Structure 1
């Protein structure tokens, strides 16, 4: 099995620091989540959460302890909203990076969504306005989904507008059980299913397509694109992203956005500059800290290399997406799968250099 920790760094390869786990001190005063299971994940993933249902003084003491000892993530620091703590000390769910929204919600009145496929809750404020979408993680599959949801937000860095997303626990249900999962800022609007693709803004399509290329989305369709009142497209639902390169999941990469009419138009100069500025080493460090598996990080490295090289050569989103997705009836491998297999066949020591060269040849 090829994982990044087994591959020496070469020119154009991820930095060795990517595979060094973050050393974190134990925090006996913080209740740990069900993530403390057979997989020994990065402690920072757990220690960065503080869910407190005590009075204001205990709330602030506990949260300050977390902030003093934990760097939550590279994207933004955890803040303390003392006004929130004092106004709703018994019903607020505070999650690292989401406290500005979650301090407004009443978890006791969580509303389960009727989507028929997965367990999803809407968390509303005292006025009944939805503020947060919470997705519980109850097993290995949904824990991975929660990690992917947050990782997509962090990796996006605002380029495509993924709503703010974080991990943590809230107390749900009649038994008031603490439940770990992902929390995402609620986006008012409606899904894009009832809209024709022609009405979508070109820049929105391009930016979401760039995101899907980077995270190798396996489930992008109009149903997980939100159309806001000002007619912006907002991407949500990224659980099925970051495929396992060694587990055959590259075969499942799928994004309708790659094939919208706008995808055949050239990228703007602004977006080309943003693509060129992506620092894949920083992205991989970020994903490592977020708990994304190394086999999935390798996919991000490959897709980013391909994206940046292809965009620099004037390729459109349609052309780039066509290299990531299996053609036709999907029985034949994608260009990305083929390039990956050919590079791996040259051995782990040569993989990164070989992949770079193979991408260059494919883009001639």
Structure 2
């Protein structure tokens, strides 16, 4: 179990990752485009009964035995990124995964949960991110993105990707999740706001996915990440009872200072 997420909330996070993977043209509520920028498979919440599931008190066809979970569309693939070296992956495909993971503060991204889709031998490679049960955590302690250490992550975002990042709006995303039935806990909403802020500020300054991700991820288990330092400094700087908006303004100022230190 990762820190920052709670047992039983994985399905909500799986659906949230799909809902927040907006198409290039904007949120699906305002767009007819189905495929999201990062390619998260369509995912929905479902309820179902089946005698094959675990029922400690015995199976009965009653509402108390209904199981709740997420259902994701199967995507044809030829394996995961674990099955091949990352050298052949297109830069934009790696970048689209990094945008999703940084924005959602994913605490469980590794080569095994990125599928590879390819049309025939020598065909174009498309990467499909799966397994988002540890995104949108309460804090940044366990954030980890293996793909940031691939060579593609050391290249700057394209202008198209930067335009997409500029269009992201954390407040709108929080309201979207609420509309779909998940009132995001305060700490998780704060994480989304801060990670989106970092992604937008970093991309605007021309930072690579590796540089932005390195601010968010810990170098070692015991050493706090830069973003954790920023959050802690902001918490110490504001008065008790300060509004969330004021707190985020403090985070923004401290983040600007840290980014300026990275790019004098």
| TM-score of the alignment, normalized to the shorter chain, above 0.5 | yes
Structure 2 distance, partners of 1:172, 1:199, is 43
Equivalent residue for 1:236?
130
| CA deviation after TM superposition for structure 1 residue 294, in Å | 1.9
Are residue 345 (structure 1) and residue 233 (structure 2) matched? no
Structure 1 distance, partners of 2:51, 2:97, is 35
**Structure 1: which 5+ runs fail to align?**
1-116, 118-139
Are residue 333 (structure 1) and residue 224 (structure 2) matched? yes
Structure 2 distance, partners of 1:294, 1:173, is 37
Equivalent residue for 2:8?
143
Equivalent residue for 1:315?
207
Are residue 181 (structure 1) and residue 69 (structure 2) matched? yes
| CA deviation after TM superposition for structure 1 residue 330, in Å | 2.6
- DSSP 3-state at the match of 1:251: coil
Structure 1 distance, partners of 2:126, 2:145, is 18
Is the contact made by 1:287 and 1:297 (CA closer than 8 Å) also made in structure 2? no
Equivalent residue for 1:358?
254
**Of 196, 206, 215, which aligns to 1:304?**
196
Equivalent residue for 2:174?
284
**Of 16, 35, 38, which aligns to 1:160?**
38
| CA deviation after TM superposition for structure 1 residue 352, in Å | 1.6
Structure 1 distance, partners of 2:195, 2:167, is 15
Equivalent residue for 1:195?
84
Query: Considering only aligned residues, what root-mean-square deviation do their CA atoms show, in Å?
Result: 1.8
Structure 2 distance, partners of 1:282, 1:141, is 24
Structure 2 distance, partners of 1:219, 1:352, is 25
Q: Quickly say closer, same or farther: Cα 1:353–1:141, change in 2 above 3 A.
A: closer
Is the contact made by 1:149 and 1:238 (CA closer than 8 Å) also made in structure 2? yes
- DSSP 3-state at the match of 2:9: helix
| CA deviation after TM superposition for structure 1 residue 212, in Å | 0.2
Equivalent residue for 1:217?
106
Is the contact made by 1:225 and 1:235 (CA closer than 8 Å) also made in structure 2? yes
| CA deviation after TM superposition for structure 1 residue 237, in Å | 0.2
Q: Map 1:124-143; keep pairs closer than 5 Å.
A: 141-143=6-8
| CA deviation after TM superposition for structure 1 residue 142, in Å | 4.7
Q: How many residues align?
A: 221
Structure 2 distance, partners of 1:141, 1:185, is 24
> TM-score scaled to structure 1, two decimals?
0.58
The more displaced of 347-356 and 158-167 is 347-356
| CA deviation after TM superposition for structure 1 residue 280, in Å | 1.9
- DSSP 3-state at the match of 1:315: coil
Equivalent residue for 1:253?
143
- DSSP 3-state at the match of 1:314: coil
Q: Map 1:2-21; keep pairs closer than 5 Å.
A: none
- DSSP 3-state at the match of 1:232: strand
- DSSP 3-state at the match of 1:227: strand
